[in-house]
């Protein structure tokens, strides 16, 4: 289904469930106090239970103020569409030992949900970041996420902020037709494992016109994800917009259909990337497209890394068995913080297929010299102007095929403005 179909369905949901006839369940009527210290978890759960039992669309309202909240699970199924309207700030316990699970605010088994209101989910993550030892310990404790969406269908999360999560800000699992719009993620660039929005085993997830500043991937797409749309997102600091990592576990499901368009990435350690583990079980990742991306001082702006091995926790010498195919990088411009601006490093055992590189303009101004590109185990289809020259360094005997190649000594107009004509593939994949 195309992106406009998802958005249209969700706007219809919004108009249906956010009417003036929605019954309002104000947490103040359940004894909640916005004094910043009194735990409102019981009041919130009571309000949710009553709203969920309503035969008509219902709204749980958290007004302005600061409300202390311990971990809660807001469970469905509900009898009618639900809205969770957060106007104030929810504040998590700062001490991670106060949590028994990996979710602070969990929405699950709900069909028809809106989260709105302009408020903030404050995870108070600083203590947790200081205690995070996952860089060297594969058995480290899983810290709580600010928001978990488990098996939620037909949802719209808009005009709210997640702040300083202890780990991922949002984890989307087993969901269908969920849109994040005007969504804000904020955490320091050095906060560990604070992915903005992580998606796994879900379909029809859209992230639109949102701002994500964090210490890990702005958006990460895990296994089993299908028809994922990211457009109009400002990312950075962080680790960029990533597919993966894939191949770490057995029985991972294919990733099919990832579309990233009209995004700006600033000051990130990666731009747009696909990452798989070496020594992986067999897997599939296909139909992934990155188009019209602005890079501002971004390291590794364009990257396929099939030897992803953080902290040397893998058998790096054994090639990945995740098959990557049908990938395009089109109209990506800006500045690189690393000399290697484009790196397509695919698996020796299952080389990448059907990779397109079109109209790249990435400048590097460091002491090593101009920007370069590297390719490994791939024969990309190259078209349009290329700076740096695409796959100038090719290893393992592979040579790039070219369509309408640009001569290396052509002058690239790096100051050109405007968007080039869209390809026939622009978000119309079925």
For residue 281, the tally of other CB atoms under 10 A from its CB is: 15
| Residue 239 known to be catalytic | yes
Tokens of 104: 């602070």
- What sign results for the dihedral spanned by CA atoms 197, 418, 8, 285? negative
Q: Which two tokens stand for residue 36?
A: 């910043």
Active site residue 365: no
- Per the residue annotation, which of 223, 239, 287, 289 is the catalytic one? 239
Around Cβ 369, how many Cβ atoms within 10 Å? 9
CA 233, CA 206: separation in Å to the nearest integer? 11
Phi and psi angles of residue 175, each rounded to the nearest 5 degrees, phi first? -105, 160
Residues with Cβ within 8 Å of residue 372, at least 6 apart in sequence: 339, 340, 341, 388, 392, 393
Q: Whole-angstrom Cα distance, residue 358 to residue 164?
A: 37
Per annotation, catalytic residue among 153, 195, 216, 292? 216
What is d(CA 238, CA 267) in angstroms, rounded to the nearest whole number? 8
DSSP 381-412: EEEEEEESPTTSEEETT---EEEEEPPTTSPP
8 Å CB contact between 72 and 30: no
Catalytic residues: 216, 239
């Amino acid at each position: 289904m195309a992106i406009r179909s998802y958005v249209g369905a969700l706007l219809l949901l919004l108009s249906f469930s956010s009417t003036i006839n929605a019954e309002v369940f104000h947490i103040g009527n359940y004894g909640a106090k916005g004094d910043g210290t009194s735990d409102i978890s019981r009041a919130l759960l009571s309000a949710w239970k009553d709203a969920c039992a309503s035969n008509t669309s219902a709204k749980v309202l958290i007004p302005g103020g600061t409300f202390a909240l311990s971990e809660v699970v807001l469970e469905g199924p509900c009898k009618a569409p639900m809205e969770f309207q957060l106007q104030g700030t929810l504040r998590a316990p700062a001490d991670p030992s106060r949590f028994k699970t990996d979710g602070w605010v969990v929405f699950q088994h709900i069909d028809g949900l809106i989260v709105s209101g302009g408020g903030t989910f404050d995870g108070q993550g600083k203590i947790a970041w200081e205690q995070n030892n996952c860089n060297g310990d594969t058995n480290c404790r899983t810290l709580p996420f600010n928001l978990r969406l488990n098996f939620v269908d037909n949802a719209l999360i808009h005009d709210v902020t997640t702040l300083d999560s202890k780990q991922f800000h949002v984890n989307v699992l087993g969901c269908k037709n969920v849109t994040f719009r005007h969504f804000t993620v904020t955490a320091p660039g050095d906060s560990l494992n604070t992915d903005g929005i992580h998606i796994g085993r879900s379909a029809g997830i859209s992230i639109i016109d949102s701002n994500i500043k964090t210490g890990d991937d702005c958006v990460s797409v895990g296994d089993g994800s299908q028809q994922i749309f990211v457009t109009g997102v400002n990312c950075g600091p962080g680790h960029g917009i990533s597919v993966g990592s894939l191949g770490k576990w057995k029985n991972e499901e294919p990733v099919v259909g990832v579309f990233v368009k009209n995004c700006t990435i600033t000051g990130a350690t990666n731009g747009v990337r696909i990452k798989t583990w070496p020594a992986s079980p067999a897997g599939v990742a296909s139909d992934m497209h990155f188009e019209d991306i602005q890079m501002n001082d971004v390291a590794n702006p364009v990257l396929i890394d099939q030897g992803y091995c953080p902290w040397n926790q893998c058998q790096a010498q054994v090639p990945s068995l995740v098959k990557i195919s049908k990938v395009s990088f089109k109209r990506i411009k800006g500045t690189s913080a690393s000399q290697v601006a484009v790196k397509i490093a695919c698996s020796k055992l299952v080389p990448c297929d059907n990779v397109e590189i079109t109209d790249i303009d990435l400048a590097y101004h460091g002491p090593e010299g101009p920007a370069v590109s590297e390719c490994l185990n791939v024969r990309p289809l190259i078209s349009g102007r290329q700076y740096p020259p695409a796959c100038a360094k090719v290893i393992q005997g592979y040579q790039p095929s070219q369509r309408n190649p640009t001569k290396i000594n052509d002058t690239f107009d790096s100051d050109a403005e405007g968007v080039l004509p869209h390809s026939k593939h622009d978000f119309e994949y079925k």
